[in-house]
């Protein structure tokens, strides 16, 4: 598929998703540090569990980098217990705030003043922060135009027949970032809509008959997914 057609296909998918689900309002009007904490804690758990952990940190007066640094690992793990894997996540969160204090004196504006490439390289040096988490931090907390790739996005791309030959995180990300306007608001909303689709219709066992990308046409034996007609 040439770049012009791919650009239009991706915009068409976005329009269909937005028409079906509306604006998702991911992390609206929240402090950047809270968003970062959420991005680290949300790994391998439901967002409702993360909200409980963040509420626990806030209620105890520990929703800041300095406060988290002062907590012991055991104390922090107890406060975020609801999000699962709490001992591992406490270590990851402690690693981030230690780095933030040493590197930027807890100044997030200074941290986000870096270029996307430089900040991404720095974030990936921190224990427990991989590509998806680093990009989530930059997009949702830093308002930087970086497209986040997750399991839902990969599944949807595969069923659309749009997965790049290389299939790597970087290749999937490039597919979006090279063929869409470089706008943080668009990337934010698009990723959130893909997650909604992945939870609603494009599940592991797909519900193609109710999917806005498949034109309500059921899958026939031996057919590709109906949504592949978009590509």
pLDDT in tens, 187-210: 999 999 999 999 999 999 999 989
Task: Note the pLDDT of residue 129.
Answer: 98
Task: Note the pLDDT of residue 25.
Answer: 86
pTM: 0.92
pLDDT > 60? residue 102: yes
Question: What is the mean predicted confidence (pLDDT) over 219-226?
Answer: 63
Give the residue among 195, 210, 10 at the shortest CA–CA distance from 219: 210
Q: Which two tokens stand for residue 74?
A: 């055991």
What is the three-class DSSP state of 177? Answer: helix
Residue 126 near residue 96, CB atoms below 8 Å: yes
Q: pLDDT band at 19, cuts 50/70/90?
A: very high
Torsion of CA 47, 170, 145, 194, to 10 degrees: -40
Task: Note the pLDDT of residue 224.
Answer: 67
Question: What is the mean predicted confidence (pLDDT) over 216-226?
Answer: 60
Q: What percent of the chain has pLDDT over 70?
A: 92
Evaluate whether the domain defined by 32-141 bears CATH number 2.30.30.30. Answer: no
Task: Note the pLDDT of residue 227.
Answer: 80
Q: pLDDT band at 228, cuts 50/70/90?
A: confident
pLDDT > 60? residue 152: yes
Task: Note the pLDDT of residue 221.
Answer: 58
Q: Within the chain, what is the greatest distance between any pair of CA atoms?
A: 59
Task: Note the pLDDT of residue 27.
Answer: 79
Task: Note the pLDDT of residue 30.
Answer: 80
Question: What is the mean predicted confidence (pLDDT) over 136-144?
Answer: 97
Question: What is the mean predicted confidence (pLDDT) over 47-62?
Answer: 96
Task: Note the pLDDT of residue 229.
Answer: 61
Question: What is the mean predicted confidence (pLDDT) over 141-160?
Answer: 97
For the chain, what are the domain ranges? 3-24+148-230, 32-141
Question: What is the mean predicted confidence (pLDDT) over 35-43?
Answer: 96
Q: How many CB atoms lie within 10 A of CB 8?
A: 12
Question: What is the mean predicted confidence (pLDDT) over 149-155?
Answer: 97
**215 backbone φψ class: left, alpha, beta (φ>0; ψ -120 to 50):** left
| Rounded-to-integer distance, Cα 79 and Cα 17, Å | 36
| Rounded-to-integer distance, Cα 212 and Cα 12, Å | 11
Residue 227 near residue 159, CB atoms below 8 Å: yes
Distance set, CA 104 to CA 96, 107, 117 (Å)? 11, 5, 17
Q: Name the CATH topology of 3-24+148-230.
A: Endonuclease Iii, domain 2 (1.10.1670)
Task: Note the pLDDT of residue 88.
Answer: 98
Q: Which residue has the tokens 């659309």?
A: 160
Q: Which two tokens stand for residue 157?
A: 């791309």
Question: What is the mean predicted confidence (pLDDT) over 54-68?
Answer: 98
């Amino acid at each position: 598929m040439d770049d012009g057609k791919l650009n239009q296909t991706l915009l068409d998918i976005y329009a269909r998703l937005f028409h079906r689900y509306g604006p998702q309002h991911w992390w609206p009007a929240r402090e950047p540090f809270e968003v970062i904490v959420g991005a680290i804690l949300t790994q391998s758990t439901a967002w409702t569990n993360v909200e409980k952990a963040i509420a626990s940190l806030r209620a105890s007066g520990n929703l800041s980098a300095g406060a988290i640094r002062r907590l012991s690992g055991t104390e922090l793990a107890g406060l975020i217990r609801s999000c699962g894997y709490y001992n591992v996540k406490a270590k990851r969160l402690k690693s981030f705030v230690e780095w933030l204090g040493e590197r930027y004196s807890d100044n997030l504006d200074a941290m986000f003043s870096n270029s996307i490439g430089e900040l991404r390289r720095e974030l990936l040096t921190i224990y427990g922060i991989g590509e998806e988490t680093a990009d989530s931090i930059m997009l949702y907390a830093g308002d930087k135009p970086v497209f986040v790739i997750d399991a839902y996005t990969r599944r949807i791309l595969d069923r659309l027949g749009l997965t790049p030959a290389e299939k790597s995180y970087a290749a999937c990300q490039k597919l979006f970032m090279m063929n869409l306007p470089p706008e943080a608001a668009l990337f934010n909303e698009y990723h959130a809509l893909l997650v909604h689709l992945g939870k609603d219709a494009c599940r592991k066992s797909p519900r193609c008959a109710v999917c806005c990308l498949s034109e309500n046409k059921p899958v026939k034996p031996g057919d590709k997914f109906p949504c592949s007609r978009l590509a």
